[in-house]
């Protein structure tokens, strides 16, 4: 665990990334996210699963895969949710159900990429809500996103999932900055 997480533990219990956010992996994430190259979602999700599948303790007990949602306006602009594309592949390979309707983004907050650490947490505070609490009650949830930078997005999502009754939230990202 990093020093920041030790000082202020996140609301998710564990996080794994398939690699560092640099080089070809960064290029692939950027193509997926901003160039709208949707087929990369399945490829990156598959690579993430292959890189992380041997960590049996991490996978034990997971009942449901939930992608970090986009605001509906951004989803329409992009044509898809990159986290959902990755999560769908991970769920399929792990033999786990996926539910993209559990979480929703309640406001179209500015993208996190241009913000500093402190601003990122404020930007996502109150931006997510649980829409299907019955689907997560008492379950271990696997939350999936594309990139982990400060953990603000995953933290905001995990917080509302836990408040709505999830027993535990674990997280996977393609890359960690």
How many Å apart are CA 59 and CA 79, to the nearest integer?
Answer: 30
**What pLDDT does 160 receive?**
97
- The 10s digit of each residue's pLDDT in 108-122 is 876 767 667 667 776
Contacts of residue 69, Cβ cutoff 8 Å, sequence gap at least 6: 75, 81, 83, 84, 100, 103, 104, 105, 128
What pTM was estimated for this model as a whole? 0.91
Q: Tell me what percent of the chain is helix, strand and coil, each rounded to the nearest 5.
A: 45, 20, 35
State how many domains the chain has.
1
pLDDT tens for residues 28-40? Answer: 999 998 898 999 9
Alpha-carbon distance 137 to 97, whole Å?
A: 15
Residue 1, pLDDT above cutoff 60: no
Confidence class of residue 5 from pLDDT cuts 50, 70 and 90? low
Q: Lowest-pLDDT range, 39-43, 56-60, 110-114, 120-124?
A: 110-114
The confidence score (pLDDT) of residue 52 equals 96
CATH number at residue 43: 3.40.50.2020
Tokens of 30: 């950027």
- Non-local (6+) Cβ contacts of 165 within 8 A are 133, 136, 137, 138
Averaged pLDDT, 59-75:
96
Tell me the backbone φ, ψ of residue 131, rounded to 5 degrees.
-100, -20
Domain that holds residue 16: 3-176
Residue 164: pLDDT band (50, 70, 90) is very high
Q: Decide: 73 and 109 in contact? Cβ < 8 Å.
A: no
**For residues 117 and 71, which has the higher predicted lDDT (pLDDT)?**
71
With beta carbons less than 8 A apart as the criterion, state whether 48 and 174 touch: yes
Two tokens at 47? Answer: 């690579």
């Amino acid at each position: 665990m990093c020093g920041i997480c030790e000082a202020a533990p996140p609301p998710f219990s564990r996080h794994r990334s398939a690699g560092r956010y640099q080089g070809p992996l960064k290029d692939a994430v950027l193509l997926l996210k901003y160039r709208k190259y949707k087929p990369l979602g399945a490829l990156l999700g598959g690579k993430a699963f292959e890189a992380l599948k041997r960590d049996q303790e991490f996978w034990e007990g997971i009942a449901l895969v939930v992608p970090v949602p986009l605001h509906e306006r951004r989803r329409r602009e992009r044509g898809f949710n990159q986290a959902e594309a990755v999560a769908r592949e991970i769920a399929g390979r792990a033999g786990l159900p996926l539910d993209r309707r559990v979480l929703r983004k309640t406001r179209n907050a500015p993208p996190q990429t241009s913000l500093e650490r402190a601003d990122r947490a404020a930007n996502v505070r109150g931006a997510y809500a649980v829409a299907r609490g019955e689907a997560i009650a008492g379950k271990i949830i696997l939350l999936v996103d594309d990139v982990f930078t400060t953990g603000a997005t995953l933290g905001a999502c995990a917080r509302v999932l836990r408040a709505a009754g999830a027993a535990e939230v674990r997280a996977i990202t393609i890359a960690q900055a």
